[in-house]
Structure 1
Amino acid sequence: MYKVIVADDEPAIRQGLLKIVDWEALGFCVVGDVSNGIKTVALHQELSPDLIVIDIRMPRMDGLQAIHEIRKTDGDCQFLILSGYADFAYAKQAIEMNVSGYVLKPIDVEELKEELLRIRAKLDRQGRAKMSEFHADALREELILKLIAADPADAPELESELAPLTSFAGKSKQILLVEAEDISQAGLVYVESVKTRWLELAETEGLGYGFQTGPYIGFLLKEDLNRPEAQNEWTRLLQDACGLKMGFTAAAGRIVYELADLRQSYEDALGLLKNRFLLTEGQIHMATEPVLSDIATESNRHAAPDLEALATKLFYMLDLGRREGVAETLEEAGRALVAYDSSETAIKTGLAKVLSVALSKLAALHQCVDIQEYAPLLAELYQHAHYDRVMSAAQSQLAELAGRLGANGSLPVVKQVMDFIQRHYHENLKLETMAEMYNYNKGYLGRMFKQHTGESFHTFLDKVRIQQAIRLLKEGRKVYEVSELVGYPNVDYFHSKFKKYVGASPSSIKGAPSKATTFSLETP
């Protein structure tokens, strides 16, 4: 039975139509009747009828306006117009909107039956065509899935079956795989609706043939995505189907020229999507393009990164207030992590460790830094589905932190280095490290420093350390404790340095406070 809605502003005519026509005998079932165009549009959205018998002259919204609104979303619904006005203008507008028939009032029952029978025949033909098309689509999808998984020996036979069901403007063929991402917690129903829209894209746009394989929607493309115009068009179509609630990651395999070789293109695309975390969301990635250092294909291809050293470097950059240095250090850490183990878990875990250590050191040095404020950032790193989003979140918040701490950022570089030594004298500071942080040549920075201070970097560092050592010794600390606290792990080395600058041993300062006061050290 085909569903029918009757729309006429005269109740007597609506009731008469329901009684004078044996709808069921003609293959129809009346599912509703309404009195104006607005109600017609609303009921169409609710019931999706196959036929609407509609009057032209109705209040609020006439029949032609209602048909125009419905045609915006439904090209299949049939319309049979009723009108008491034998006006060609109405008929012309109706023809332009692809209506099925036009019956004048007063209604001739036999004429109405003939029109309904003609419309039913048309609906039957459309139904058979859709069924045939459905079977063809199902068979084509089945053959595509078999081909992308087939042994090379079986591929030619499958190709011969698939070829008649496809049409290509050119000889090139390519597989595109797309994975949906719920970026706004829209839910499974919305995800599935987006996948359905994607499958419809290939057919409605005439760009290829859709299929579903595991979590991916696939397309056997009719044109080469290496062409920028084609890639841009597909990107736009995928984005439009997603709306604002969904994202996607897409990968295209190599170009092949025989259907039997589809498996190669499919495996290329699948290989890229297995590294989805390293791919940018909302773009189509090509198998021929390098992806973040070519994406590590084997674990432990490089040595494990020194996360402690990277965290220390990040800590220094934050303490100096160098936003550019913070971004560069994060990128360096990311590249090192990817080169060693490109899995999502390993990268996120390693990056979280680098940030945690750097922020802990910073909080110990600056009272204004509360590490608890950055707990949400560390949690957020695990929520992002893509590397670039993780890095963007980290860079954004750490750049803001560097900006707050960078009060000395406008000072000359040598003055910044001097202030830095005063805060970090107890660490393993090297001129090479400082030069790297400021993107200077080591020799050039060393000459600048000596010209400004009159002393070499290492002499200045030693003097700051010895000055701090005298303070600690006066507080009653043990010599070996002071040695480590000021940055000399080897206590004998500390003794030699102390005697060089003070002219006495550390124990003499500790054991003779009155004498200790005679030792002085020029403040750097």
Structure 2
Amino acid sequence: MWKILLVEDEPFVRHKLLKLVDWEAYGFTVAGEASDGEEALELMQRLRPDLVIADILMPRMDGLELLRQTRRAGLDSRFVMLTCMGEFEYARKALELGASGYVLKLSLSIPELSEMLLKIGEELSASRRQRHALLRQEFDRYYPLVWEAVKAGQEAAPPAPPASYRRLLMVSCIGTGRPLLAAVLEACPQDAWPEEVWTGSFTADGCTTCFFWSDGSLRPPGKLAAALPVQAVACGPVPPGLIRAEWSRLYRQLNDCWYEIKGGAPADGSGAEPAPPSSAGPDAAGEPKLPPVWVMEKEIVLAFAQRRSADMQQTACAMWETLRAGRTPFSLVIEKAERLMRTFAEIGNQPPSGPAQRLREAATHRELLACFLAAADEMQMHMAAAEGITTNHPEINRVLEYIHSRYAENITLRAAARYVAMEEHYLSGLFRLKTGETLISYLQHVRVKKARRLLRETDLTVNEIGRSVGFPNDNYFIKTFKKWSGQTPGAYRRDEREAGNSVPSFRESSENPKR
């Protein structure tokens, strides 16, 4: 509803306007009344009406002077002037000062006033849309600046907000699965607030925060965070100058929620309880020290590429526990999980969008680990299906599956023959008949293919990659790689990175066995 202030020194005229006009039908509500310009000016400072309907001739301060004083004070309320027949010159002067129109008091044509209200309502709506679009752009630039200060722990005062509101309320949650602002407005619609509220939201690093700005008391209807479908923390209302400090406090509270620490951050914002000793160090029982997180990340990638699911899961669980022991900020934990998932997608030549989205929906450290392991298993199943490792012979299919799942091990013709209970010479001939190449040649083909992916998609050294795909020494790896690719592993990595998303030097389809 647009707010109206009626300014008229004759009570009869004010009463007539209140009685004859259905203000709400045109989107207006009468917020106040005044009998002269001085009283009206004081009310305008407090009520901030959208439209002022004022008599031109009044005692103490007339309508024209009220209009002048309003513009000098920086108030942008629209004006409609009430005038008598002999006061047309005053009405013309009011139009020059920016009034939207005038109405004759004697006739007081309700249809004429109603038409003017419709026109002014449309103008106010258009003006608000334009103002809000510009203001939203400014706030969209403002929130990231404050967020960077929050993450960096900067104590300096944040930049001033783009609008001069008196109070601020914030609500934060972990994750981006469902728009938090929509959930808040569903729980507490804007028309339920006692004053006009400017809303906004910002999402980054696995955290979504909603902002509510107002010049009023900013007391939400009911307990805001408790009414939401997601676990959230709230603060305020506070002066806008405290936005960085309060946002930092919410971030610490969310970190406690992330690690499912009971009690959360103290109300005074002093932070969470002290972290327990890191599991990365030896404990009282003399357990071996766990490797650094970056080493475990590398081991996870290698285990995924080699389809060692059990090893990958064990190392991931150890890394998650190390992160928990150090109370690593949840945004960094999510970032690590997403980086690993992108690497998995590149190794498996799969789009990461689905698994990555599920990671973003995790609300706790424990849930993220479960989502991560489930997504990794799903991607490994897709990798196996994409290999196309089938022929029309079941025993050869078993050998192919054996090679693709254990290519990093010391696979020989004798070991494969024992695996399917066949005579070596017979298996060798049958394998060549069904796949078009010898078993050792096929094994080298698979190993080089895996090595090429790791060279393209990881920062592992050539030595580490060679050993991870089954080559016992560097010379054998480089010689075999050059045989299949026409260049050394180092040259291949350099060319691929310079070319960006270039086509591989041999077609993936040529690596599949014949049907």
TM-score of the superposed pair, with normalisation by structure 1: 0.29
* The structure with more radius of gyration: 1
| TM-score w.r.t. length of structure 2 | 0.29
